[in-house]
């Protein structure tokens, strides 16, 4: 595969904790055809790390987000630190947006109201700075749609999409890219495959979410951006467009996302 791809959602810090040094990951990623990586913040410390990593000289371009992960029940004190990091980062050339944010009722069933309040807070903040959001939504489709519908000026991406085509279409209609991870390669992921097949190509991104969710045939092993090509190849298998056309549009979509250009304005 000779196409340039962008990994729009990665956790290089966690990959390193699992045994693969960041410098090596980036070199291997570059050699596999990955052009850029978006390093994701999930709390204050990882958001600072993401920004500082993006400011270094790296084998490939690193962009970053500042996030407040819904499953972690982050304290108000730390949220204030995250707010300050958003202020510090918003004019940084490597800054993409706010996330991960969202709703996780699988891990946080007892904190739903608090999650909704934090989600709404950061949607409002994203509107203030005209930046996209990176949304984590697990077992919370109805509430995610409802809340996003209440913030029509917000835009961004549904990261690691795990719902069906009907819901995907709703999110696209609300102005959100749909990002497919290695899950789309799993044999059991029929609903996700259908969404990847039927959605407008202009609405699709791909990601590894590494080190999590390695695609087949690496399922259950540590993931990294070199495996992004397997997600791309699954899209080619599912869709009617040529591999060149899909690669070209994915690159355009990903760069638009990084440039803070919403789906509705792409």
Give CATH for domain 5-265: 3.20.20.140
Residue 165 in tokens: 């085509």
At 129 the pLDDT is: 97
Q: pTM for this structure?
A: 0.97
Q: Which residues contact 173 (CB under 8 A, 6 or more apart)?
A: none
At 51 the pLDDT is: 98
The series of mean pLDDT values per 10 residues for the chain, 266 residues long, is 88 98 97 97 98 97 98 96 98 98 91 96 98 98 98 98 98 98 98 98 98 96 98 98 97 97 78
At 1 the pLDDT is: 57
| Residues counted in the chain | 266
Q: DSSP assignment, residue 210? A: B
Q: Output the DSSP codes for 212-233.
A: S-PPTTSTTSPP-GGGHHHHHH
Contact 146, 170 (CB under 8 A): no
For the chain, give every domain's residue range.
5-265
Helix H or strand E encompassing 164: none
Inter-CA distances, 43 with 26, 47, 73, 76, 78, Å: 23, 6, 10, 12, 8
At 200 the pLDDT is: 98
Q: Note the pLDDT tens digit of each residue in 137-152.
A: 999 999 999 999 999 9
At 108 the pLDDT is: 79
Q: Which residues contact 55 (CB under 8 A, 6 or more apart)?
A: 92, 94
Q: Output the DSSP codes for 167-186.
A: HHHHHHHTTEEEEE-GGGGS
At 265 the pLDDT is: 67
């Amino acid at each position: 595969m000779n196409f340039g791809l962008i990994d729009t959602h990665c956790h290089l810090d966690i990959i390193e904790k699992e045994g693969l040094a960041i410098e090596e990951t980036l070199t291997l990623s570059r050699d596999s055809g990955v052009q850029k990586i978006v390093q994701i913040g999930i709390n204050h410390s990882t958001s600072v790390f993401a920004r500082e990593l993006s400011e270094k000289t790296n084998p490939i371009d690193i962009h970053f987000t500042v996030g407040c992960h819904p499953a972690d029940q982050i304290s108000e004190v730390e949220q204030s630190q995250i707010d300050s990091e958003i202020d510090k980062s918003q004019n940084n050339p490597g800054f993409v947006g706010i996330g991960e944010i969202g709703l996780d009722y699988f891990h946080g069933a007892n904190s739903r109201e608090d999650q909704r309040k934090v989600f709404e807070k950061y949607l409002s903040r994203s509107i203030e700075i005209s930046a996209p959001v990176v949304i984590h939504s697990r077992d919370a489709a109805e509430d995610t749609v409802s809340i996003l519908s209440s913030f029509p000026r917000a835009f961004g991406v549904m990261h690691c999409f795990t719902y069906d085509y009907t819901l995907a279409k709703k999110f696209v209609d609300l102005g959100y890219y749909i990002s497919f991870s290695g899950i789309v390669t799993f044999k059991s992921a029929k609903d996700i495959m259908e969404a990847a097949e039927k959605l407008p190509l202009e609405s699709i991104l791909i990601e590894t979410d590494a080190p999590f969710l390695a695609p087949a045939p690496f399922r259950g092993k540590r993931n990294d951006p070199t495996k992004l090509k397997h997600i791309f190849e699954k899209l080619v298998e599912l869709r009617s467009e040529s591999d060149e056309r899909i690669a070209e549009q994915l690159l355009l979509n990903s760069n638009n996302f990084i440039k803070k250009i919403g789906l509705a304005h792409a």
